[in-house]
Amino acid sequence: MIKDIFISIWKYFDIICFLGAILFAIWGCFLLSFAVGIFGIAVGLILVGYLSEKIASLQ
């Protein structure tokens, strides 16, 4: 059962790491200032949107 959980997590591991990296980058931007944090959110959403469109076009 645990092996099945790891197999299903491993399938999406790169996506989880990518989203985690964006979250920590946004957190770091907010530590600098509020305005930079808002800009970080915008850049993060643009990246996620672009990559989701690229993934959708592959199928």
Cα 34 to Cα 11: distance, rounded to the nearest angstrom: 35
- The pTM of the whole model exceeds 0.75: yes
Cα 5 to Cα 44: distance, rounded to the nearest angstrom: 28
Cα 23 to Cα 41: distance, rounded to the nearest angstrom: 9
Average pLDDT, integer, range 32-55: 94
pLDDT surpasses 80 at 59: no
| Closest by Cα among 7, 10, 20, 19 to 52 | 19
- pLDDT, tens digit (0-9, with 9 covering 90-100), for 16-42: 899 999 999 999 999 999 999 999 999
DSSP helix/strand/coil, 23: helix
